[in-house]
Amino acid sequence: MNASHDYQRVYVWEQPVRWFHWINAASITALGVTGWLIAHPPGLLNAGEASGSFWFGTVRFVHFAVGYVFLANFAFRLYWAFAGNKYASWRNFLPLRKAQVRQIWDVLKVDIMQSSDKPVHTLGHNSVAYFTYAGTGLLTLFQIVSGFALYASMSSSAFPHLFAWLVPVFGSEQNLRLFHYAALWAFIVFTLIHIYLVFYHDYVEGHGVMSSIIGGWKFMEKHKAAAEEAHGISAFPEVKAAPPPVPAKPHATR
């Protein structure tokens, strides 16, 4: 029989992070499907009026329109990295503290090498996850800038032209398109591993990781939650655990 635990319910993912997550996931799915169709256009024929067979135009329109949503959502998450709670803070995404770097090895032993059965308990993400999301953030940035750079030559709006400088950096539109396409596969690989790992962590740790990205709450044994709040990688540097009480000095007697 499983041991019973005295769990504390901690509000970790605020509503803006959860909205960001699901808008991001939906945008990537829409951009991935429409982007793949643009790269591999199927030769669909029908006997109708040519003007009634403009589906490929619709696919391209959806790709470009969702590109704006993807950009706005990402910009909002960057803002929330400064305005949100400590779990959402930008500090966690950069290797600023020794504890974050040390945790990488502990997580890899459980997740990848499976040589340890001691799960790493964190209320926010663990440091491997934070650094991976920093990587997907850079990938997102590249995909946005390269996407708008490719869009510039076919758009009369001013905004995409702000990114047109990237085309000569890559030598030609075709070269840039190749990298934009490769990033699609990087997102697909990330998504497959990401979904596997969140299910795995939910199962191994039992802290409600999976439901946290819907409702915001995680559950952790009270003593672990207190230690994590004070010293965990999501703890603000200025938050210190209360020092142990200093025993009163006995009065000197003569």
In angstroms, the CA 89 to CA 91 distance is: 5
**Binding segment for ligand HEM among 22-30, 40-48, 66-74, 221-229 (CB under 6 A)?**
22-30
**Binding segment for ligand HEM among 2-10, 14-22, 41-49, 169-177 (CB under 6 A)?**
14-22
Does residue number 39 form part of the binding site for ligand HEM (CB under 6 A)?
A: no
**Binding segment for ligand HEM among 21-29, 55-63, 155-163, 242-250 (CB under 6 A)?**
21-29
In angstroms, the CA 37 to CA 61 distance is: 12
Does residue number 21 form part of the binding site for ligand HEM (CB under 6 A)?
A: yes
Does residue number 90 form part of the binding site for ligand HEM (CB under 6 A)?
A: no
Site map (CB under 6 A) of ligand HEM, residues 48-87, x = contact: -----------------------------x----------
**Beta carbon of residue 126, minimum distance to ligand HEM (angstroms, whole number):** 7
**Beta carbon of residue 67, minimum distance to ligand HEM (angstroms, whole number):** 15
β partners of residue 11: 217
Q: What angle separates helix 173-205 from helix 15-39, to the nearest 10 degrees?
A: 140
Please report, for residues 44, 67, 131, 161, the alpha-carbon distance to residue 71 in angstroms, rounded to integers and kept in the order given: 31, 6, 21, 15
Q: What stretch of H or E contains 11? A: strand 7-11
Residues 192-251 that bind ligand HEM (CB under 6 A): 194-195, 198, 209-210, 212-213
20 or 131, CB closer to ligand HEM?
20
The upper half-sphere exposure of residue 28, i.e. CA atoms within 13 Å in the direction of its Cβ, equals 22
> CB of 110 within 8 A of CB of 117?
yes
Angle subtended at Cα 26 by Cα 41 and Cα 40, rounded to the nearest 5 degrees: 10
Q: Reduced to 3 states, what is the DSSP secondary structure of residue 249?
A: coil
Site map (CB under 6 A) of ligand HEM, residues 118-157, x = contact: -------x---x---x--x---------------------
In angstroms, the CA 37 to CA 219 distance is: 42
Q: Which residues bind ligand HEM (CB under 6 A)?
A: 17, 20-21, 24-25, 28, 77, 125, 129, 133, 136, 187, 190-191, 194-195, 198, 209-210, 212-213
